[in-house]
Amino acid sequence: MSRRAGLITALIAVILVALWFLPAWAPYFYIFVAAEILILGLFAAGFNLVFGYTGMLSLGHAAFFGFGAYVTAMLLLHFDTPLAFALIASLAGGGLLALVIGFFCVRLTEVYFTMLTLAFGMMVFSVAQQWRSFTGGSDGITGFAVGSFGLGLDLTLGNPAVYYQLTLVIVTLAGLCLYLITISPFGLILRAMAENPERVAFTGIPVRRYRLYSFVISGAFSGLAGGLFAPFTRVASPETLHWSQSAEPVLMSILGGSATFLGPFIGSAIFVLLETWITSFTDRWMLFLGIVLALMVMYLRRGLLGTALDRLTKRG
């Protein structure tokens, strides 16, 4: 058991080192692909705290992701805030918005919870699209410059390779933080709630409140991912708030395996790579994604990583 854990840690370390040196050996184009995988992977992993670990399907997480993108974009545009502080603000903003939305949503369960998250997500999208004077309407926020990082670090963030490496470090740290939460006593309570909330309540846990905690943490990490996304795409657009954006972390978690911590990252890689590869010869990439997803759900129900780990441990 611990030998396997060591093996996985070593494998992850090798992958991280390879990713760090990616700009040195891969074509320029792949830096963008890798950055997108990392950012959306963090978004999906944050989402999966609610979905895979707490057992609640949210279809409104784009609200937190997009909100994080707007927070960083606006702070950079209006105040030339160092990026580090803008990202912290995105993290806090995502968590705060999740607190407000979650306050209402966790009162409901199952499909009603899902519908309410979807409804709130649509509301946030509408606000961003219609409050033109503040949010730039359907154009979103553009024309902001990424200046300094802050914290005494002198980084040339305008260089995509540097921004990519910064993204790698932040996503790794945030991922580690999320991982610690999943293996904590708190994480155990979440996993237990996913399976049987009533039994958990009868051990003395106020289940609704713990659902909210999970939702807020999840929203915060989604917000951080959004904050990283805006400088990467040079825009905070209402599309990042659209409900179709909320579907992405769901698909990624399922593709990679929602019962595993790294599943959403693997799912993000599958998703982005498939998109990149298929769109290079056809516009109808959604059709192919649909086929892949259908096959996965039918034959690899626990996702790619989930199924692989099952095979390794020979677990039924």
Partner 1 sequence: MAEQNTPILSTDALTKRFGGLTAVDGVSIALNEGEIVALIGPNGAGKTTFYNMVSGRMTPTSGQVLFHGSDIAGKPPHEIARAGIGRSFQITNVFNELTVRENVQVALVSHRGKSLRLFAVLGMDRALRREADEILARLGLESMAELRTGTLSYGDKRLLELAIVLAIEPEIVMLDEPTAGLTPEETRAVIELIRNLRAERPYTFFITEHDMEVVFGLAERVLVMHRGQLLATGAPEEVRQNPEVRRAYLGDEEEDSAA
Using CB under 8 A as the binding rule, whether residue 85 contacts partner 1 is answered as: no
Residue closer to partner 1 by CB (options 99, 201) is 201
Q: What is the CA radius of gyration of the chain?
A: 19
Q: Are 58 and 236 in contact, with CB atoms under 8 Å apart?
A: no
- Identify the CA nearest to 162 among candidates 35, 261, 76: 35
Q: How many helices (H) and strands (E) does the chain have?
A: 15, 2
Task: List C-alpha distances in Å: 103 to 8, 92, 99, 106.
Answer: 37, 16, 6, 6
Using CB under 8 A as the binding rule, whether residue 181 contacts partner 1 is answered as: yes
- Identify the CA nearest to 64 among candidates 42, 81, 82, 85: 42
Instruction: Choose, by CB under 8 A, the member of 187, 226, 238, 267 that binds partner 1.
Output: 187
Residue closer to partner 1 by CB (options 39, 309) is 309
Using CB under 8 A as the binding rule, whether residue 312 contacts partner 1 is answered as: no
Instruction: Choose, by CB under 8 A, the member of 202, 277, 279, 284 that binds partner 1.
Output: 202
CB 56 → partner 1: shortest distance, Å?
Answer: 16
Q: Please choose, out of 26-34, 185-193, 239-247, 286-294, the segment that lies near partner 1 by the rule CB under 8 A.
A: 185-193
- Spatial distance between the Cα atoms of 30 and 275, rounded to a whole number of angstroms: 13
Q: How far apart, in Å, do the first and last CA atoms of the chain sit?
A: 17
Tokens coding 196: 């049987």
DSSP reduced 3-state for 150? strand
Q: Please choose, out of 192-200, 238-246, 273-281, 283-291, the segment that lies near partner 1 by the rule CB under 8 A.
A: 192-200
DSSP reduced 3-state for 82? coil
- What one-letter code names the amino acid at 245? Q
Residues 118-157, one symbol each (x = binds partner 1 by CB under 8 A, - = not), give ----------------------------------------
Residue closer to partner 1 by CB (options 3, 315) is 315
DSSP E strands, 216-277: 235-236
Using CB under 8 A as the binding rule, whether residue 309 contacts partner 1 is answered as: no
Element (H, E) at 162: helix 160-182
Using CB under 8 A as the binding rule, whether residue 301 contacts partner 1 is answered as: no
Q: Please choose, out of 63-71, 110-118, 119-127, 193-201, the segment that lies near partner 1 by the rule CB under 8 A.
A: 193-201
Residue closer to partner 1 by CB (options 101, 189) is 189
CB 218 → partner 1: shortest distance, Å?
Answer: 13
Using CB under 8 A as the binding rule, whether residue 188 contacts partner 1 is answered as: yes
Residues 36-75, one symbol each (x = binds partner 1 by CB under 8 A, - = not), give ----------------------------------------
Using CB under 8 A as the binding rule, whether residue 198 contacts partner 1 is answered as: yes
CB 295 → partner 1: shortest distance, Å?
Answer: 25
Please state at what angle helix 110-130 crosses helix 243-256, rounded to 10 degrees: 130
Element (H, E) at 141: strand 141-142
- Identify the CA nearest to 129 among candidates 120, 141, 138: 138
Q: Are 154 and 162 in contact, with CB atoms under 8 Å apart?
A: no
Q: Please choose, out of 100-108, 123-131, 164-172, 181-189, the segment that lies near partner 1 by the rule CB under 8 A.
A: 181-189
Residue closer to partner 1 by CB (options 133, 203) is 203
Binding site for partner 1 (CB under 8 A): 177, 180-181, 183-189, 191-192, 194-196, 198-207, 210, 213, 217, 315
